[in-house]
Structure 1
Amino acid sequence: MSIISQEKFKEISNFHGEPCVSIFLPTQRGGKEVLEQKSRTQLKSIWDETKKELEAMEVPGEKIEQLGKPVQELIDDAEFWRHQSDGLAIFSAEGFFEKFTVPVNFEAYKYISKEFYVRPLVPVFNGDERFYLLAVTQDSVSFYEATKHSIGEIEVDDLTPSQLEDRVGYDYEEKHSKSKTQNSQTGSATTHGYDAANRDDKNEILRFFRAIDKGLHEILRDEKAPLVVACQDYLFPIYKEANSYKNLFDEVVPGNPSDSDMLGLHQKALGIMEPHLEKEKRSKLENFKEHTPEQVSSKVSDIIPAAFEGKIDTLFLENRGEVWGTYNEENRKVETEEQRSSKNTSLTNLAAAKVIENGGAVYLVEHAFMPEKDAGLNAIFRYS
């Protein structure tokens, strides 16, 4: 699974070219749809439509072929389609290609313009709508990205040790076995697999967990989503001591994670996480009208300049809603238009990109739950 960092998001959202092609489609993790190659067939269909649209825009055939080459390689890669999450995002331009497999249920969509369309990626950057799950024992490390409705594994073998012996040395197992034998001979008790009073054992586990924490930092350093740990109870205090990630969730998913598969771990994690998911979003939606008129706005002419200037704390976008128009950054002038054209752009996409770049929160909200329902964008400002 490809994780989208803040830096990569900024690179994509600030890229300009003629043309930039953005494609989003739903994918499946397994089952009949994977066997029937449903997503693979759907991408082929979307790309065929995209080629026709590019031809109608009088894009040279050579450039269309260049844009489509990496897309076609994906279509032809049978192995790629066996390892999907819930959605696939593709960005292709001259000299540029990126793809991301993410736990977001995209609707099939294509967008051709002078910039990439990043708005569907908004849930990836909502810390209270998704979470990370680390399942760890002394013999295994598994890492997942999840939402309320989905979970997908992230490969971390190249970032973290896969078992304790990889970090502290293979003499650990021999020493550990001798310790247990000696304890059984003398009648002394062990607790949950290691002597709670044995500092050496704890220190070695602590070194193991610090190595895991260091590796995960490569993924989590810019993240806001909570990290939930699934491990045996006695290990969690040691992991908390090793942890450097500021959004570590304070409750552990109890039990031995080796006793559950990925879906079982997801269900257990939701048991402790669900009350906290989307908590901040709900609170901000409920309190929108309690702010003074200077602190909020539903006017596109106010919101777009504020997004560029880093003044927006929270942006609500109507899901499936769109606002077309243009923005002149020099004079801060916003022009809206009824229909999409070759000369305008998605202002909701523009606003979402800038707010995320500047550290604000962006949420896709169904029409019925928008604070100001007559507008496609609602914003809470950081300052007036």
Structure 2
Amino acid sequence: MSLISQEEFQKIAEHKGDVCVSIFIPTQRAGKEVLEQKDKKHLKSSWDEAKRKLEKKGISEEKIKSIGKPIVDLLEDPEFWRHQSDGLAIFAADGFFSKFTLPVNFEAYTYISGEFYVRPLVPVLKDEGRFYLLAIQQDNVKFYEATKHSIGSVYIEDLTPEQLEDRVGYDYEEKHSKHKTQHNLSGQSTTHGYDAANRDEKNEILRFFRAVDKGLHQVLNDENVPLVVACQDYLFPIYKEANSYNNLFDQVVPGNPSDTDMFGLHDKALKVMEPHLEKEKRDKLNNFKELNPEKTSTEIHDIIPAAYEGKIDTLFLENRAEVWGKYDEKNRKVETSTEQSDNTYSLMNLTAAKVIENGGSVFLIESAFMPEKESKLNAIYRYS
């Protein structure tokens, strides 16, 4: 899975041309839809739609063919369609092509203008949702780096033991079973022997977990993001005792990690961590309501010039909404329109790209949760 970096985002956001085509489609990781090549058919349909729009704009057949060649090549690449995530983003212009297979559920959308449409990429750029996920059992250890929208494996095999037997140095299961079957002379199981076996089991698991923790220290030494543990419930108190990392998340992702794959673990971890991951957004929304009105704005005619000047700390955009128009940077003049035309473009897309370029934060918010619902853009200023 390819994530998009800040540099890649800026390269796309800053590209200008006569014709820039942005295509977003939802995709499937596996299942019947993959076998039936529905994602491939969806892209073909979207490109066919884009071609019709380009023809209507009077774009030459030669230029359309040049813009579309990398897309046609993708359609003919069976290997590409076997490795999808939740969404596909494509940016194509004459002499420019970029694609991203991303863990974001895009709504299908095709945008043609003199710039690319980058607003749907905003969730991928937020780093505040980053965390580590440790899936640990007595016979298996897996480590992942994740965000709200992505997860990837981190290689730790040279840092930590892979299973308990690697740490304790003998056949743990055989030794433990002998403890459990010890009997006294009367043929009854002894409580003392059973308790001793339990103590031995816990101590050996603790030694194993301490070895894992020691190995992870080389990865986590300079980090301050949450470490989330996925394991069976009875193991989590033992891991907490072994842990030395100062940002261990205090709730376990329950169940046997082997019962699902990496993406299933990610989904389960997000459910446990949701309150934490939403904290920054929640705090910013509360800030908007509490700040002096001079530090906030809901007026697009003020917000866009402020975005160009680097004045915006946080921008809230109403999800699934759009504002068309154009901006004259020299005269700081905003003109809005009811629809897109050859002379207008997405002002929400323009503003989001500028805020990110100048180091601000952008959040896509459902209409019911916008701070000021009468406006599709709300902003918090860095200074008045």
- TM-score, with structure 1 as normaliser: 0.77
Partner-residue secondary structure (3-state), 1:275: helix
Structure 1: distance between partners of 2:277 and 2:309: 29
Structure 1: distance between partners of 2:337 and 2:212: 61
Task: Spell out, residue by residue over 1:297-325, the C-alpha distance to the aligned partner (whole angstroms, 9 max, x if none).
Answer: 11112111211222212211122221122
In structure 2, the residue matched to 1:141 is: 142
Q: How many residues align?
A: 360
Q: CA separation of 1:263/1:303 partners in 2, compared to 1, >3 Å: closer, same or farther?
A: same
In structure 2, the residue matched to 1:345 is: 345
- Give the letter for the 2:71 counterpart: V
Task: Spell out, residue by residue over 1:74-133, the C-alpha distance to the aligned partner (whole angstroms, 9 max, x if none).
Answer: 2222333233222111112233322222222211111112211011122223456x5555
Q: Structure 1 residue 2 and structure 2 residue 9: aligned?
A: no
- Give the letter for the 1:317 counterpart: L
Query: Conserved in 2, the CA contact under 8 Å of 1:142 and 1:153?
Result: no
In structure 2, the residue matched to 1:123 is: 123
User: Whose relative contact order is higher, 1 or 2, with alpha carbons under 8 Å and at least 6 apart?
Assistant: 1
**Which segment is superposed worse, 102-111 or 57-66?**
57-66
- Give the letter for the 1:86 counterpart: D
Task: Spell out, residue by residue over 1:221-270, the C-alpha distance to the aligned partner (whole angstroms, 9 max, x if none).
Answer: 9xx986634355344676653x8xxx874544356533544465345424
- Give the letter for the 1:205 counterpart: V
Structure 1: distance between partners of 2:161 and 2:249: 30
Segments of structure 2 that go 5 or more residues without pairing to the other structure are 180-195
Match among 140, 149, 155 for residue 160 of structure 1: 155
Structure 1: distance between partners of 2:214 and 2:286: 45
Structure 2: distance between partners of 1:134 and 1:192: 23
- Give the letter for the 2:314 counterpart: T
Q: CA separation of 1:305/1:176 partners in 2, compared to 1, >3 Å: closer, same or farther?
A: same
In structure 1, the residue matched to 2:182 is: none
TM alignment of 1:98-113, pairs within 5 A: 98-113=98-113
Query: Conserved in 2, the CA contact under 8 Å of 1:298 and 1:378?
Result: yes
What is the Cα deviation at residue 345 of structure 1?
A: 2.2
Structure 2: distance between partners of 1:174 and 1:235: 17
In structure 2, the residue matched to 1:23 is: 23
What is the Cα deviation at residue 333 of structure 1?
A: 2.6
Structure 1: distance between partners of 2:377 and 2:368: 13
Structure 2: distance between partners of 1:252 and 1:36: 38
Q: CA separation of 1:249/1:76 partners in 2, compared to 1, >3 Å: closer, same or farther?
A: farther
TM alignment of 1:134-283, pairs within 5 A: 134-137=133-136, 139-143=140-144, 145=146, 147=148, 153-154=151-152, 156=153, 160-161=155-156, 163=157, 166-167=158-159, 176-178=168-170, 190=200, 194=204, 196=206, 205-206=212-213, 208-210=215-217, 212-213=219-220, 228-230=228-230, 233=236, 234-235=238-239, 241=245, 249=249, 251-253=251-253, 257-262=257-262, 265-266=265-266, 268-283=268-283
Structure 1: distance between partners of 2:264 and 2:150: 13
Structure 2: distance between partners of 1:160 and 1:267: 21
In structure 1, the residue matched to 2:295 is: 295
Q: CA separation of 1:169/1:116 partners in 2, compared to 1, >3 Å: closer, same or farther?
A: same
Partner-residue secondary structure (3-state), 2:78: coil
TM alignment of 1:323-338, pairs within 5 A: 323-338=323-338
**Which segment is superposed worse, 319-328 or 265-274?**
265-274
What is the Cα deviation at residue 275 of structure 1?
A: 2.7
What is the Cα deviation at residue 352 of structure 1?
A: 0.9
Partner-residue secondary structure (3-state), 1:100: strand
What is the Cα deviation at residue 180 of structure 1?
A: 6.0
Query: Conserved in 1, the CA contact under 8 Å of 2:161 and 2:211?
Result: no
